């Protein structure tokens, strides 16, 4: 389900479509700034949104369904950038419920101002500061508002990321369907040569013609 179409008033801030994410470049699979989920968690998210609206908040989605190529890209970035420890510490996963369409990264938005309330850290701050319970004052209050609302509708929070929630659905499988219709299709896209090695430079965008660069670009 397309969350923007199915959930009235939901905000999208799809960071992986842009360079405004921890890798510093657009991520493969995110040629369009969309957010999809399977029907069951998407319908639960509708109920979460309605509950939060009663208290003046709404949801802003940073990421939902994630093409598998993006998960592989995150690990490759960690390896080539000297951040492999983030994989070992489970801040970056080699497998993800996002690939199954049953996980979502989101935060709160103040409906009166359109601003994001204090959550203690930015989305995708890969450090202990992002652990859900590791906050104080307004930040902890807002994290708990989000956590309570999500868990009341069957979502489960990942304790190391205040923004990450999953919703169990039996029988799912990881997919690699890209958001951009012009991107290399599931089963066609392959890993670019050398992209996990220091010196490899990601392209500024991932159109179909450049989805599978065969040579590494060195600085």
Active site residues: 161
Half-sphere exposure of 160 (CA within 13 A, CB side): 12
Closest listed residue to residue 161, CA positions, set 136, 126, 116, 120: 126
CA–CA distance, 183 with 94 (Å, rounded to integer): 22
Secondary structure tally for the chain: helices H, strands E: 5, 5
What is the dihedral sign for C-alpha 180, 122, 23, 150?
A: negative
What three-state secondary structure class fits 147?
helix
The bridge status of strand 164-166 relative to strand 103-110 is antiparallel
Measure Cα distances from 69 to 37, 107, 113, 140, 174 in Å.
17, 24, 36, 33, 10
Helix (H) or strand (E) holding 53: helix 39-53
3-state SS, residue 103? strand
């Amino acid at each position: 389900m397309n969350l923007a179409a199915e959930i009235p008033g939901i905000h999208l801030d799809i960071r992986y479509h842009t360079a405004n994410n921890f890798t510093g470049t657009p991520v493969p699979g995110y040629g369009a700034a969309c957010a999809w989920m399977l029907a069951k968690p998407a319908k639960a998210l509708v109920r979460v949104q309605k509950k939060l609206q009663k208290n003046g908040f709404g949801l802003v989605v940073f990421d939902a369904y994630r093409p598998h190529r993006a998960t592989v890209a995150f690990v490759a970035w960690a390896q080539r950038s000297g951040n492999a420890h983030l994989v070992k510490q489970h801040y970056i996963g080699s497998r993800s419920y996002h690939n199954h369409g049953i996980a979502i990264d989101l935060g709160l938005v103040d409906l009166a101002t359109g601003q994001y309330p204090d959550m203690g850290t930015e989305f995708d701050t890969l450090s202990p500061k992002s652990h859900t319970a590791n906050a104080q004052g307004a930040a902890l209050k807002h994290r708990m508002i989000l956590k309570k609302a999500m868990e009341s509708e069957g979502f489960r929070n990942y304790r190391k990321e205040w923004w990450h929630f999953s919703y169990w659905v039996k029988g799912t499988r990881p997919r690699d369907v890209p958001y951009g219709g012009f991107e290399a299709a599931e089963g066609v896209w392959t890993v670019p040569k050398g992209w996990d090695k220091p010196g490899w430079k990601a392209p500024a965008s991932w159109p179909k013609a450049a989805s599978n660069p065969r040579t590494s670009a060195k600085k």
